[in-house]
Amino acid sequence: MNTTRTKVGILGGGQLGKMFALAAHNWDVETWALDASRSFPTGPVCSHFVEGNFNNFEDVYAFGKQVDVLTIEIEHVNTEALTQLEAEGVKVHPAPAALKLIKDKGLQKQFYQKHGLPTSDFQLFESGEAIEAALRSGQIKYPFVQKSRTAGYDGKGVAVIKSEADLPLLLPDASVVEELVVIEKELAVIVARNENGEVRAFPAVEMEFNPVANLVEFLVCPADIEPAIELAAEQLALDTVSAFGVCGLLAVELFLTKDNRLLINEVAPRPHNSGHHTIDSCYTSQFEQHLRGILNLPLGSTKMKTVSVMVNLLGEPNHVGPVQYDGFEECVAMEGVKIHLYGKAETKPYRKMGHVTVLAENAEAAKAKARLVQKKLKVVSIPL
Ligand SMILES: Nc1ncnc2c1ncn2[C@@H]1O[C@H](COP(=O)(O)OP(=O)(O)O)[C@@H](O)[C@H]1O
Ligand SMILES: [Mg+2]
Predicted confidence (pLDDT) at residue 315 exceeds the cutoff of 80: yes
pLDDT at site 294? 98
Cα 85 to ligand 2 centre (Å): 29
Specify burial of residue 11 (Cβ count, 10 A radius: 0-12, 13-18, 19+): buried
pLDDT at site 3? 82
pTM for the model stands at 0.97
Ligand 1 neighbours, Cβ below 6 Å, are: 120, 145, 147, 152-155, 158, 178, 180-181, 183, 186, 253, 265-266
Mean pLDDT value of segment 309-321: 95
DSSP state of 349: T
CATH number of 183-381: 3.30.470.20
Cα 144 to ligand 1 centre (Å): 11
Q: Give the model confidence (pLDDT) of 119-172 as tens digits.
A: 999 999 999 999 999 999 999 999 999 999 998 666 679 999 999 999 999 999
Which residue puts its alpha carbon closest to atom 16 of ligand 1? Answer: 155
Q: Which fold has domain 7-92?
A: Rossmann fold (3.40.50)
Pocket test for ligand 1, best of 148, 158, 255, 273 (most atoms within 8 A of CB): 158
Round to the nearest angstrom and report the end-to-end CA distance of the chain.
53
pLDDT at site 76? 95
pLDDT at site 154? 61
Mean pLDDT value of segment 200-206: 98
pLDDT at site 9? 98
Predicted confidence (pLDDT) at residue 328 exceeds the cutoff of 90: yes
Q: Give the model confidence (pLDDT) of 213-242 as tens digits.
A: 777 899 999 999 999 999 999 999 999 999
Number of H helices, E strands in the chain: 11, 21
Could you give the count of Cα atoms lying within 13 Å of 285 in the half-sphere of its Cβ?
A: 19
Strand-pair partners of 359: 308
Q: Which CATH architecture has domain 121-179?
A: 2-Layer Sandwich (3.30)
Residue ranges per domain, the chain?
7-92, 121-179, 183-381
Could you identify the atom of ligand 1 that is nearest to the CA of residue 178?
1
Ligand in nearest proximity to the CA of 255: 1
CA distance 39 to 43: 6
Cα 253 to ligand 1 centre (Å): 9
Least Cα distance to 222 among 279, 278, 269, 286 occurs for 278
Ligand in nearest proximity to the CA of 147: 1
Tell me the pLDDT of the chain averaged across its residues. 96
CA distance 266 to 249: 14
Ligand in nearest proximity to the CA of 154: 1
Least Cα distance to 188 among 160, 213, 223 occurs for 223
The number of angstroms, rounded, from the C-alpha of 31 to the middle of its chain's C-alpha atoms is 21
Least Cα distance to 5 among 55, 50, 48, 61 occurs for 48
pLDDT at site 155? 62
